[in-house]
Amino acid sequence: MVFEVYSTSTDYYNDNIRYAETRCDNCGKVVTFSKNIDSQHNTLRTVGIKTLPYPCPQYTPETIKNIFDEASQCYSHNYFLASTAMLRLCLETVTKNLLVKEEDRQQNLYNRIELLFDTQHITKKLRDFANEIRLEGNIAVHEGTIDQNNLQDLFDFIIALLEELYTQPRKLELAREKRNQRKEQGKSS
């Protein structure tokens, strides 16, 4: 079991207690540990185990997954503005990863979304989702407001986008590989 440290903090009432939040790479659960640094025993105490409120879709590239997971972690702590900003960054990263030409990657987010639609990398539905994320991200960053219900919608939108761009194509690719392997095994029998 591999744990990735998300955050560390000091107890509000006791400077000698430290907390660390980690996510298990195998199951995705978040574990909170505490440690009394004045203690004679070098032990960690498990405070709580929870799953991320919005797990990242399977087969999402690691850089995008890390951003998405941070947005979900922010949401779990009621940091809605930070969560919205991270979802917008997730969208920024997705659009840049999908474009081949460097000059296209340098375009602003709106233009990158339109370019991906025009070149049929994304459907109209995904373009609309992407623009919702872009606009809500702008409002969160520039006006400092986000409604929790709108943020939940943004998670639904980015999950749909990631599933269509990464999860479904990879699942189909794996199914095709599995079918080809069965065909090859049938020939050798």
* Residue 23: predicted pLDDT: 61
CA distances from 70 to 30, 87, 98 (A): 12, 9, 21
| Backbone angles phi and psi of 137, in degrees to 5 | -60, -40
Q: Which of 9, 25, 51 is the last residue of a domain?
A: 51
Shared domain check, 154 and 64: yes
* Residue 10: predicted pLDDT: 44
Domain hosting residue 28, numbered range: 1-51
State the Cα–Cα distance between residues 10 and 36, nearest whole angstrom: 10
User: Which residue in the block uniquely carries the two structure tokens 């079991």?
Assistant: 1
* Residue 131: predicted pLDDT: 97
* Residue 77: predicted pLDDT: 84
Structural domain count of the chain = 2
Shared domain check, 69 and 46: no
Shared domain check, 115 and 44: no
Going by C-alpha positions, the residue among 51, 5, 49 that lies closest to residue 28 is 51
Q: Where are the alpha helices (DSSP H) in 37-123?
A: 62-76, 80-98, 102-105, 109-118
Whole-model pTM: value is: 0.74
Spatial CB neighbours of 110, under 8 Å, sequence gap ≥ 6: 131, 134
Shared domain check, 109 and 44: no
Question: Average pLDDT for consecutive 10-residue bins of the chain (189 residues)?
Answer: 43 53 62 58 52 87 93 90 96 97 97 97 96 95 93 97 96 94 81
Shared domain check, 113 and 94: yes
Shared domain check, 180 and 100: yes
Shared domain check, 94 and 25: no
Shared domain check, 74 and 46: no
Shared domain check, 151 and 132: yes
**Sheet bearing 45-51, strands edge to edge:** 3-10, 17-24, 29-36, 45-51
Shared domain check, 170 and 84: yes
Tokens representing 83?
């969560």
